[in-house]
Amino acid sequence: MPPATFTPATRAWFDAAFPAGPTPVQRRAWQAIGRGENALAIAPTGSGKTLAAFLSAIDRLCRPSEEGEQRGVRVLYISPLKALGADVERNLRRPLAGIAEAAEEMGEPAATIAVGTRTGDTTPAERRRLRTHPPDILITTPESLYLMLTSAVRETLRSVETVIVDEIHSFAGDKRGTHLALSLERLDDLLPRPAQRIGLSATVRPPHRGARPSGPARGGPTWPGPPVDGAAARCGAATGPCAPPWPPVPTVPRVPGAPPPA
C-alpha cells in the first residue's frame, strides 16, 4: 500500500487503481522522497516510477494551502521530448480525477489542481495565460525552461517545490545536460530553498551519470543519497539500496550577470 503519510484520498485511489500494491521502485522512491531527499529512480519502462514521482507531488498539492502561500507553479516536469510531455499530461488526468473523486466520496474538499504545458509549440495566447494564471503542475522541455528563466515569466516559478526530470539518461554527458544543470541552478536561485529534484530513467548506467542534473550543484555537494534502483542487483547489491560512494556533483559555473543566490 502507499505510504501512510499520503492523504486518505490519495491512498484510497491508489489502492483501488492498483490492487497488487506499489512496485519495488515506487516503495523505495516514496521512502527517499518522503525524507525530503533528491532521488534518481532507475527502473524499466512500465515499473511505475513516473507515477511514483508525480503521486508524491500531487499528494502535497491536495493538502490545504497555507494562508498567504504564493500562487504559482509548484511542480515542474521536464521532458526531453515534447511528445513525451503530452503523454504525461494525459496520464496525469487519471490520478487527478481519481483522487478528487475519492475525496468527494469521503466528504473531504477536493483540491483543484491545474496542469499546463509550455513547449516550443505553445501559442502566444497560451503563453500569456500561463503567465497570468500559472498552473500548479507545469510540463516543459529544457529549452523552454531556459526561455522562461530569461523572461518575466520566471516570476511564476518562484513557488516551485519539486522538479521531475524524465529520461535523464538522454541528458547525461552532453551539452544539453550541462545546459539543463545550469537552468536548474538558476531556478534554485529564485527559490527560498532549493527544489527537491527527482530524476527518472530506465537505462542510465552507471547511476552517478544522472547525478549532475538531479543533484544540487550549488557549492559542489555530493550526490545526496543512493539512486533508487528498481533492480538493485545491477548496481552490485543483491538487496537494499545501492550504496557505492557516488562522486561529487560538479559545481556549475554561474552565468555572467546572473543574480546572486537568494
| Contacts by 58-62, CB closer than 8 A, 24 or more apart | 58/10, 58/95, 58/96, 58/99, 58/113, 58/137, 59/6, 59/7, 59/10, 60/161, 60/162, 61/111, 61/113, 61/136, 61/137, 62/7, 62/9, 62/10, 62/99, 62/103, 62/111, 62/113
> What tens digit of pLDDT does each residue of 11-70 get?
999 999 999 999 999 999 999 999 988 988 888 888 899 999 999 999 999 987 765 566
The DSSP code for 21 is -
Mutual orientation of helices 8-17 and 49-62 as an angle, nearest 10°? Answer: 150
In this prediction the pTM is: 0.79
> What tens digit of pLDDT does each residue of 197-242 get?
998 888 755 555 544 544 444 443 333 344 555 433 232 222 233 3
Residue ranges of E strands in 21-173: 39-42, 75-78, 115-118, 137-140, 162-165
Query: Which region, left, alpha or beta, applies to residue 2 given φ > 0 means left and ψ of -120 to 50 means alpha?
Result: beta
Q: Would you state the pLDDT for residue 247?
A: 32
Mean pLDDT of 64-77: 78
- How far apart CA 147 and CA 181 sit, in angstroms, is 14
CB neighbours of 70 closer than 8 A, spacing ≥ 6?
158, 159
Whether a cis peptide bond, with omega within 30° of 0, leads into 206 is yes
The mean predicted confidence, pLDDT, of the chain is 78
- How far apart CA 233 and CA 229 sit, in angstroms, is 9
CB neighbours of 35 closer than 8 A, spacing ≥ 6?
none
Q: Would you state the pLDDT for residue 250?
A: 35
